[in-house]
Chain A
Amino acid sequence: MTVFSLIIINKAGGLIYQREFQPGLRKLSTNDYLVLAGTFHGVHAITRTITPKLPLLTPTATASTPTSASSNLASPSGTSTPIPPTTTTTTTTTTSVAATTYTYPIPGVPATGLESLETDKFRLTCFQTLTGTKFLLFTDPHMANIEVVMKKIYEFYADFVMKNPFYQLEMPVRCEAFDRNMNGWLRGRT
């Protein structure tokens, strides 16, 4: 159970947060982190665009009115979201969408791109929020339940970064409470 470090990339591809939790990875210079963030952002965007679009199924018999919207929350493209919604069906369920009655948000753009990248020594997991912010977590390749860690980090981010009235959106994160809470929580898990 090793979490090496965390990187947060804003929706424009800028590095807004970089922090090491446990030693293991070699350090990069600040500039290299910026390049890493920008490069990953680009690659991620490309992987999004090459995601095959699944053909939309014809409306089912029950979907006769536009109000009977599908209960499926998964992305239209059929790729699994990094954190599958716990309360809903997952992507294996057939999407019974009344495609003719409405348009999708951002028609044609798949919801997710590159989600994980793995080497012998570490795994990079990417979670992109619906607002476009990306969380990159470097962990041990054998670590399980990364999504739990990711979800918790997202909550810390929502609480201590976004709710800090003096944090300017899209700017580098310098929130001491965010660091402190995340450190404390991660330490409690190991």
Chain B
Amino acid sequence: MSSTTKASRIGEELWKTRVDKVNAELVTLTYGTIVAQLCQDYDGNYQEVNKQLEKMGYNIGMRLIEDFLAKSNVGRCANFRETADMISKVGFRIFLNIAPTVTNWTSDNNQFSLVFDENPLADFVELPDDGRAQDELWFSNILCGVLRGALEMVQMQIEAHFVSDVLRGDDTTEMRVSLVRYIEDEMPPEEE
């Protein structure tokens, strides 16, 4: 697992030396307020809230990738497994100071899971007890969008979604990431 340990080292180093820190509660409350406001604006239509969060994340990811590359100074990953390590050990480390576990690879190396032991976005959160949010809302869905936007900018089309969330009472928080294809042309993507 040389690429894993190397990615961990890079992530740690960057986190210590290059990252401006902000108060975690500020981030948590800001994000929580956005989600709660969306739930209110869409009148409890959680599918739509999930979609909007994903879209917001997508627009963030397309911008954040440049910061990631400028800071981390890493080159192109040789394969999707290395990409997964970079996402977990460097990306999540420098932006959220967590390193979700990469696991559950499919045999074709095109799909993996990120298992979040901690999730700064979801501190203090308890989903609304309206009987539906527990089944429909993916509170941290913005992260799926961030990954999709960021990887699209480096020519990878992926699909990401949550499959479980401790907020819903599941044992783990798990995101499934699948590589759809490598984008070969360099046409600019449409910004949503």
Contact = CB atoms under 8 A, between A and B. Distances in A.
Q: Do chains A and B touch in the complex (CB under 8 A)?
A: yes
Interface of A: 10-12, 45, 66-76, 81, 83, 85-88, 97, 101-107, 109, 111, 129-133, 151, 154-155, 157-159, 162-163, 168-170
Contacts of A132: 153, 155, 186
Taking each of B6, B79, B191, which has the highest tally of chain A beta carbons within 10 Å of its own beta carbon? B79
Interface residues of B, number: 38
A170 B66 CA distance: 13
Contact of B71 (A73, A86, A106, A155): A155
Nearest to A70: B78
Interface in B1-54: 1-3, 6, 9-10, 13
A69 B182 CA distance: 19
Nearest to A81: B75
Nearest to B191: A169
B162 interface: no
A76 B78 contact: yes
Across the A-B interface, the 6 shortest Cβ-Cβ residue pairs = A73-B75, A102-B79, A158-B70, A158-B67, A162-B63, A158-B66
A10 B69 contact: no
A85 B109 contact: no
Interface of B: 1-3, 6, 9-10, 13, 62-67, 69-71, 73-82, 109, 153-156, 182-184, 186-188, 191
B79 A104 contact: yes
A11 B78 contact: no
Given A12-B186, A102-B79, A102-B80, A129 B69 contact: yes
Contacts of B182: 103, 105-107
B109 A66 contact: yes
A74 B76 CA distance: 7
B157 to A, nearest CB: 11
Contact of B73 (A45, A67, A71, A83): A83
A85 B74 contact: yes
A105 B81 contact: no
B81 A67 contact: yes
Contacts of B78: 69-70, 72-73, 76, 97, 102, 104-105
Contacts of A45: 186
A105 B156 contact: yes
Contacts of B77: 73, 105
B188 A169 contact: yes
A106 B81 contact: no
